Amino acid sequence: MEQFNTRSNHEIDYKIYGEEMQYVEVELDPQETAVAEAGSFLMMDDGIQMQTIFGDGSAQQQGIMGKLFSAGKRLLTGESLFMTAFTNMGQGKKRVSFASPYPGKIIPLDLQQMDGMVICQKDSFLAAAKGVSIGIAWQRKLGTGLFGGEGFIMQKLEGDGMAFVHAGGHVFERYLTPGEVLKVDTGCIVAFTQTVDFDVQFVGGIKNTVFGGEGLFFATLRGPGKVWLQTLPISRLASRIISYGTFSRKEEGSVLGGLGNLLDGDGY
């Protein structure tokens, strides 16, 4: 039986390579386009044309006001006003590849199979088929977003094409049944489908408040729907790197600090 293509976004094929440091290879037919964040490009075949575009190039950007509004939403999620479009201007199939910026996994998301929308971490988007809209997911509850920190402002991917997000460490899926609640560190959420209810809660108790750190707030995810989680958020990785990059090491004291740095290979 003949199947008809019902996608309004560009239809792209892909393959993911690697283990800890992955890249995704996107295959483009003539005149097909993929869009990506600046800095994610790895390599491409001859015949693919690169072009800087204002916003994400989706259908929601009709007219100058639509483009400004869409680009403004991207600024709120910490992204650039501009993206890069890769279009196959040659004959036959061409390939372009995008690499993840830190150790982890690339997650392919077919938005057509997810009712046209996925909510994801604000810094997780890597690339997508042209037509996918990348904007901000306004939270329904005032408590969400007032306290800062990672994960409280989320990105919204809309459309019916393929999109790719990246996550740190080990990445795994959980399917929540209706009413099932999962409590997660805010930074460990990669993405979830639009049927999942998301909120941020304060962890009470003096010990949590005084000695907390990352335990002060956690996210609650209520099913039904699918959730993608990561074991190593980039913010957690960065804080560890910064702590080891300082001259004084609190856990070893002022006398042993220099010796510890020398043993780590940091001494001169």
pLDDT, tens digit, for every residue of 191-206?
999 999 988 877 665 5
Q: How far apart are CA 169 and CA 103, in angstroms?
A: 6
Tell me how crowded residue 24 is: count the other CB atoms within 10 A of its CB. 26
Whole-number pLDDT of residue 45: 96
Q: Which residue has the higher pLDDT, 151 or 187?
A: 187
Lowest mean pLDDT among 8-17, 20-29, 204-213: 204-213
Cα torsion 129, 134, 140, 142: sign? positive
Closest listed residue to residue 48, CA positions, set 26, 21, 81, 71? 26
In which residue are the tokens 């991207």 written? 74
Question: pTM for the whole thing?
Answer: 0.77
What mean pLDDT, rounded, does the chain reach? Answer: 78
Q: Do the beta carbons of residue 196 and residue 46 sit within 8 Å?
A: no
- Give backbone dihedrals phi and psi of 185, rounded to 5 degrees, phi first: -60, 135
What are the structural domain ranges in the chain? 13-232
Q: CA triplet 57, 58, 61: central angle to 5 degrees?
A: 85
| Beta-ladder partners of 189 | 229
| Whole-number Cα distances in Å, 59 to 9, 10, 19, 63, 96 | 9, 12, 35, 10, 23
Pick the CATH number of 13-232 from 1.10.3720.10, 3.40.50.300, 3.40.50.1220, 3.60.160.10: 3.60.160.10
pLDDT at residue 213 greater than cutoff 70: no
Alpha carbon of residue 145 to chain centroid: 18
pLDDT-derived band at 8, boundaries 50, 70, 90: confident
Round to whole Å and give the CA distance between 92 and 30.
Answer: 6
Residues 124 and 190: beta-carbon distance below 8 Å:
yes
